[in-house]
Chains A and B, each alone.
Chain A
Amino acid sequence: MGATATQLDIDRDKGDFKYAESHKYDAGVGLNEGTIDYICDVKGEADWIRDFRKRALKVFEGKPMPTHWATKDLDNIDFSKIRYYLSGDNRSKKSWDEVPEEVKETFERLGIPENERKFLAGVEAQFDSEAAYSNIKEAVAKDGVIFLGSTEGLMEHPEIFRKWFGKVIPTGDNKFSALNSAVFSGGSFIYVPPGVKVSHPLQAYFRINAENFGQFERTLIIADEGAEVTYMEGCTAPKFDTATLHSAVVELVAMPGAKIEYITVQNWSSNVFNLVTKRAVAHEDAVVKWIDCNIGSRLTMKYPGVILKGRRARGEVMSIALANDGQHQDTGAKMIHAADETTSNVISKSISVGKGRSTYRGQVHMPKHLKGCKNNTECDALLINSESRTDTYPAITVRGEENYVQHEASVSKVSAEQIFYMQQRGLSEAEAMSLSVNGFVNDLTRQFPMEYSVELKRLIELEMEGSVG
Chain B
Amino acid sequence: MSQSLEIKNLNVNIGDKRIIKDFNLTIPKGEIHAIMGPNGTGKSTLAKALAGHPDYEIASGEVLMDGESILDLEVDERSRAGLFLAFQYPVEIPGVTIANFIRAAKNARLPEGEELNAPAYYKELYEKMDALKIDRKFTSRSVNEGFSGGEKKRCEILQMAMLKPKYAVLDETDSGLDIDALKIVAEGVNTLRGGNLGALVITHYQRLLNYIIPDRVHVMYDGRIVKSGDKTLAEELESKGYDWIKEITEAAA
**Chain A residues at the B interface, C-beta cutoff of 8 Å:** 2, 412, 415-418, 420-429, 431-432, 435-436, 438-443
Question: Which of B85, B100, B104 makes the CB contact (< 8 A) with A424?
Answer: B85
Known: A420-B54, A425-B105. A439 touches B96 (CB 8 A): yes
* Chain A contact surface mostly: helix
| Bound complex: CA A168 to CA B148 (Å) | 53
- Chain B residues within an 8 Å CB radius of A438: 95-96
The 0/1 profile, CB within 8 Å of A marked 1, for residues 66-101 of chain B is 000000001110111000110100111111100011
Is the pair B94, A427 in contact by a Cβ cutoff of 8 Å?
no
Within 8 A of A (CB), among B81-140: 84-85, 87, 90-96, 100-102, 104-105, 108-109, 115
Interface residues of B in 34-72 (CB under 8 A from A): 51, 53-54
The distance in angstroms between the C-alpha atoms of A440 and B159, with both chains bound, is: 22
Q: Hey, which chain A residues are within 8 Å of B54, CB to CB? A: 416, 420
**How near does chain A come to B63, taking the closest CB pair, in angstroms?**
15
Min distance, Cβ B85 to any Cβ of chain A, angstroms:
5
What is the minimal beta-carbon distance from A408 to any residue of chain B, in angstroms? 16
Chain A nearest CB, measured from B155 CB (Å)? 12
Nearest to A429 among chain B residues (CB) is: B76
Whether A435 and B101, one on each chain, are in contact in the complex, defined by CB atoms closer than 8 angstroms, is yes
Most A-side CB within 10 Å, residue of B100, B105, B115, B159: B105
- Main SS of the interface on chain B? mixed
- With A and B bound together, what is the CA distance between A420 and B75 in angstroms? 7
Give CA–CA (A418, B94) in the complex, Å. Answer: 10
Whether A423 lies near B74 (C-beta < 8 A) is: yes
Docked-complex contact B142 and A2, CB < 8 angstroms: no
Which chain A residues lie closer than 8 Å to B108 at the CB level? Answer: 425-428, 431
- Residue in A closest to B53 when the chains form the complex, CB atoms: A420
Residues of chain A with a CB closer than 8 A to B79's CB: 423-426
Contact A421 B90 (CB under 8 A): yes
22 contacts across the A-B interface (CB closer than 8 A): A412-B94, A417-B91, A418-B92, A421-B87, A421-B91, A423-B74, A424-B51, A424-B84, A424-B85, A425-B105, A426-B108, A427-B76, A427-B104, A428-B74, A429-B74, A431-B108, A432-B76, A435-B96, A435-B104, A436-B93, A439-B94, A439-B142
* Distance from B70 Cβ to chain A, minimum over Cβ atoms (Å): 13
CA distance A412 to B142 in the complex (A): 16
B91 touches A418 (CB 8 A): yes
A412: B residues at CB distance < 8 A: 94
| Cross-chain contact A426 with B95 (CB below 8 angstroms) | no
Interface centre among A423, A424, A428 (most CB of B within 10 A): A424
Report yes or no: A424 in contact with B93, Cβ–Cβ below 8 A.
no
Chain A CB within 8 A of B237 CB:
no
Q: Which A residues touch B163, using CB under 8 A?
A: 425-426
Q: Report Cα–Cα, A415/B53, bound state, in Å.
A: 13
Cα of A439 to Cα of B96 in the assembled complex, Å:
5
Chain A residue with minimal CB distance to B144?
A: A421
Interface contact B74-A440, CB-CB below 8 Å: no
Once the chains are docked, how many angstroms separate the CA of A436 from the CA of B95?
7
| Contact, CB under 8 Å: A440 / B95 | yes
The docked-state distance in angstroms from the alpha carbon of A418 to that of B91 is 6
In the bound assembly, the distance between CA atoms of A40 and B74 in angstroms comes to: 60
**What residue of chain B has the Cβ atom nearest to residue A5's Cβ?**
B115
- Given A424-B79, A425-B159, A435-B104, output 20 extra A-B contacts at Cβ < 8 Å: A412-B94, A415-B91, A416-B54, A418-B91, A420-B54, A420-B75, A422-B101, A424-B84, A425-B101, A425-B102, A425-B108, A425-B163, A427-B105, A429-B76, A431-B76, A432-B76, A435-B100, A436-B95, A441-B95, A442-B96
Verify B93–A422 contact, CB threshold 8 A: yes
Nearest chain B CB to A161's CB is how many angstroms away? 42
| Chain B residues, CB < 8 A from A431 | 76, 104, 108
- What are the residues of chain A within 8 A of B100 when measuring CB–CB? 435
**Cα(A443)–Cα(B97), bound, Å:** 12
**Least CB distance, B15 to chain A, in whole angstroms:** 16
Q: Complex: how many Å from CA A432 to CA B94?
A: 12
Contact with A along B153-178 (1 / 0, CB 8 A): 00000010001000000000000000
Q: Which residues of A contact B78 (CB under 8 A)?
A: 424
The reply to whether A442 and B95 form a contact with Cβ atoms under 8 Å apart is yes
Which chain A residues lie closer than 8 Å to B95 at the CB level? 436, 438-443
Name the residue on A nearest B95 (C-beta).
A439
- Distance to closest chain B CB from A437 (angstroms): 9
Q: B105 contacts A421, CB within 8 Å? A: no
Least CB distance from A196 to B in Å reads 37
